[in-house]
Structure 1
């Protein structure tokens, strides 16, 4: 919802387009086809029949195979070609929440699965300048969502040519560091130039009366962000969910032994819920959940710790006598309860949630800052990414901010030690140096890392 609100605040409209894409649509854009060909799931028949043994067999071969949506540039482009005639029809700013299918050979939960959920934005513009502006605007929105809502610090920048979205003129990404110091690409925004417009014949009459091809963009994030959230904030006790994205901010566990105690406890519990439900945290209603299930207290307690609920409150008979409640903040690793009065808890609640959000971001930012190094020596670079660590061979040094000459050969050479260029940071300033791989002259630093 938070991300959807950001889209709508920038005048984007939600829509939905077909799941099945005619094969001929993909063939219109050669680079696009090459990029997705090995990942496409294809529908070739439209029904099933039974043979004499009762076995189901495909039947009714389609005249044209249908590709199960890997991404929607071509199918949406076909619609835009019909809708756009004049400069007055532009810009078109549309977002789609949907599922996509990419035939992954090595799946990893939340990060790389055959079917996943995502949002994909597709926009059409009259000028190159407008399309480029849109590309960067959406990258900034992803960065804002990741950092302010998910509490995940990211590095924004441009992808190298070999890492571009198939068919794009330029691709930009946000990259996050997970706790094992690997990188995770967490969102991308693509400037498509006029390539997809020409393939789909998206043309318009300009103010001067000329027929011109439009300029397009696309951008997206997926359920991979759930993986990023888990791997950024979780600890040995389970999930840790930032307050701005949590389904429930406060979990109350009432503790009682009989009906009389239950009645007394719930008089306080219900009053807390009533008062908290009137509060708002970052324009969102604060959600309170009361867990009154008939299971052991220890089991219930650990259930919510593992779930990562931001604040857990326990109220028992002894707490009533003292006029306090037991409060546990999930962002603190020691899992130590504090005992405070109800009114003080309520008065400090908004500040507490803000403090938790900031604390989680600052922890993740410290990890990123402490494990990003400028490396200019080739041997140090190799050693940085190939530590002798028999117990945890995948744990390495982090991100290397090093020079790169711009050649694809050096990119491929880095991959020999399972390292890739994550992006060319937007904040990077031009400076002279030597490529960390080949030693040739370089004018820019890039982020090297192992990644998911």
Structure 2
């Protein structure tokens, strides 16, 4: 395959490849402050498609959208000590307005549990008010020490859902349902297979009783936490006195959940599907699904007319189309389309008009075919579905071939060096052992997998030799 000189090959330097493809793919510009980025139309367009499609799904669950303030007083967030301690190193604080020092410091939201707690307190009085299912599409600020576009930035975009329920069972079931929603969304729209599981005590969300996660494997073997869902129990409702009267007129604190997916998902798409030509965007969330490139000879009017006609026909069939009308060469236009990851490219020129056919190129495989003009819409629809299915199958195969069960710490270290997903028997919720593993290998506990058949009924802990029936997936992670 001919490499585009602008892009560092994946095999040489994965980190530099990632930076090369997101800059040359017109996804971002760096912001004025360290750790901030500007989402250009190509990346924000992906986020719009994610938002549009996920919004429809969560609304089917009865969730309604709201929007809460960006700023919160120090006194509010400090009501839940474990929660604030978990975010303390990343909290951005406002201390002055103009020349005036504020009487109380103001935090820029790192997440919105405490704000939603206030909202629920005012909304809930009786069991008839429950469940309350809210979500907001918002930005949050977490002052990360080490940043990387899409993966860890000081400000990012996300959706965060928050719900209140009358019973523990209902809240637990809803938190588990939402992690399945995320898993299905990654499969159905982002063409990514994931490992689903529960976070260990060391890794769970600050203030949660249980955190569920989906972990995606990137092409370099590292894990990316792709979305999370938390069962909060009554941790926040007791602290903020969010209660209701049940059918027996007893005052009960509600049971809560929270769950979220962020623009980190764009990073997942790039690092799981991209190649040495650039980005590969799954068709369902691609802002542009088809690039129409006119191969003009003396501005041939017939070519322009046919391109406009094809664009109209494709758009009438719900396909998102862009016509490149720049005066760049056909080679430059084709290369740029590939770098930006547009799923399908159609080239049309004077000779194609004569033969009543066009050249169609699919981005993921660079397979080219001549297609009759009257068959273009049908062929494009088939190709978009095929591209999605093939991308998902590659993602599924990557995980299947690189997730390994291991019961030897020596072998575990070797596998982690090889950037594998490694499932091991280990004493349950031992923060000390997890800390030791991280110090010695840089690997972290990603989750306690729930849908893998790799594990035995019981085995010896890789660190202590004690017999356990607890298994954890470890990997290096972003």
TM-score by length of 2: 0.86
Shift of 1:297: 1.8
- 2:423 is the counterpart of 1:401: yes
Local SS of the residue matching 1:277: helix
Q: Which runs of 5+ in 1 are unaligned?
A: 48-58, 280-284, 387-395
Deviation at 1:143, TM superposition (A): 0.6
State how many pairs are aligned: 423
Q: Report the equivalent of 1:390.
A: none
Matched residues in 1 for 2:461 and 2:262: separation?
34
Alpha carbons 2:110, 2:141 under 8 Å: kept: yes
Structure 1 residue 271, shift from structure 2 partner: 2.1
Give the match for residue 54 of structure 1. none
Counterpart Cα distance in 2 of 1:138 and 1:65: 34
2:81 equivalent in structure 1: 30
What is aligned with 1:269? 307
The equivalent residue for 2:383 is 352
- The residue aligned with 1:156 is 196
Are 1:414 and 2:467 an aligned pair?
A: no
What do the CA deviations read for 1:225-257 (whole angstroms, capped 9, x no partner)? 010010010000000011111011111001112
Contact 2:419 2:476 in 1 (8 A): no
Q: Post-superposition shift, 1:266? A: 2.2
SS at match of 1:131: helix
Match of 1:229 in 2: 269
Question: What is the aligned-residue RMSD (CA, Å)?
Answer: 1.2
1:194 corresponds in structure 2 to 234
SS of the aligned residue for 2:175 comes to helix
Counterpart position of 1:140: 180
Q: Tell me, what secondary structure is at the counterpart of 2:422?
A: strand
Where in structure 2 are the equivalents of 1:198-213 lying within 5 Å? Answer: 198-213=238-253
Aligned equivalent of 1:3: 54
Deviates more, 1:338-347 or 1:115-124: 338-347
**Is 1:185 matched up with 2:211?**
no
* 2:339 equivalent to 1:306: yes
On the 8 A contact 1:68/1:101 being kept in 2, the answer is: yes
Q: Which residue of 2 aligns with 1:92?
A: 132
Structure 2 unaligned spans of 5+: 1-51
Q: Secondary structure at the match of 1:95?
A: strand
How far does residue 375 in structure 1 lie from its aligned partner after superposition? 1.3
2-side partners of 1:424 and 1:316: how far apart? Answer: 55
Partner of 1:257: 297
8 Å Cα contact 2:71-2:107 kept in structure 1 = yes
Aligned to 2:460: 434
Q: Distance in 1 between matches of 2:82 and 2:369?
A: 59
Q: Residues 413 and 437 of structure 1 are in contact (CA less than 8 Å); yes or no, is this contact kept in structure 2?
A: no
TM-score, normalised to structure 1, is: 0.91
Indicate the larger mover: 289-298 or 229-238: 289-298
Q: 1:23-49 CA deviation, whole Å, 9 max, x = no partner? A: 1111111110110111101111122xx
- 1:283-362 alignment runs, 5 A limit: 285-332=318-365, 335-362=366-393
Helix, strand or coil at the partner of 2:229:
strand
Matches of 1:439 and 1:77, distance apart in 2: 44
Greater Rg over alpha carbons, structure:
1
